Amino acid sequence: MTSAPMRVGMIGLGAIGQGVLTQLAAMPDAAVDIVGVLVRDPSRPRPAGTPPVVGTVEALLALEPEVVVEVAGHEALAQHGPAVLRSGRDLIAVSVGALARPEVYDSLVAAACEGGAQITVASGAIGGLDAISAAAVGGITRVTHTTRKPATTLLGAEGAALTEPRELFRGTAREGVLEFPESVNVAAAVSLAGVGLDRTELVVVADPAITRNRHEVVVEGDFGSLRFEIENVPTTANPKTGRIVAMSIVRTLLRRCAPLAIG
């Protein structure tokens, strides 16, 4: 007996949201049905085949999704996330940098408890979160996260004049995520998996010599040490976002309904 496709709502239809739809369209056997998407302007013309679009979170929930995916940015997660969670729907979030603001973190956690739901942090542009969270059980002493992106991605036109790498930030992940909200969501994810936003050291570098977004994470603790590095191909629509982010969302959805889950 074949089970019905999982009903999924989505918040946001930018580069990541479009990437999710593209990935799912290429996987006809995936038991995932995007029943609706919450966008800022539902009246805007959309390509053929776009799922129904709505303008309020109430309208999205009325479409009866089983789970909701957020791919719209910090403010969208802060604004709409609590209502989703209070309704009892699980929420898969990409813009986890929003949790660097204590009031947003508290609001989302309280709403999840109230609705008996769960927030899942998608791996997004990073990896190794399962190993980091496992290491945190035994005790982590130090986490450093270095993000290198093309100079123009971080600095715009100013970056075109750079001839060597420029360190733009060094400090706690909480401070860095708030300063670069569109570029280092992954640092928030690493921090939440490990020792927290105030103990994770973040370095952000604008590098004119690279064309891919690079993240290097080093973790030390009772378990030993872990070093993880990834180079992401940026999306054409938004160079600050890697193509793998949409893939991570699809993988997270497929994992929910898979008979065998890895990691």
Helical H segments across the chain, by residue range = 15-25, 57-62, 74-86, 102-115, 129-138, 151-155, 173-179, 185-193, 244-256
Start-to-end Cα distance in the chain: 27
Asked about 145 being catalytic, the answer comes back as: no
Q: Smallest Cα–Cα separation from 245: which of 28, 97, 42, 31?
A: 97
Q: What length does the chain have?
A: 263
Q: Using the structure block, give the residue that is written with the tokens 């679009």.
A: 53
Q: How far apart are CA 23 and CA 30, in angstroms?
A: 10
Coil, strand or helix at 248: helix
Q: How far apart are CA 207 and CA 236, in angstroms?
A: 19
Tokens of 168: 């733009």
Please name the residues in contact with 82: beta carbons below 8 A apart, sequence gap of 6 or more: 107, 108, 110, 111
Would you say 241 and 235 are in contact if contact means Cβ atoms under 8 Å apart? Answer: yes
Residues labelled catalytic: 215
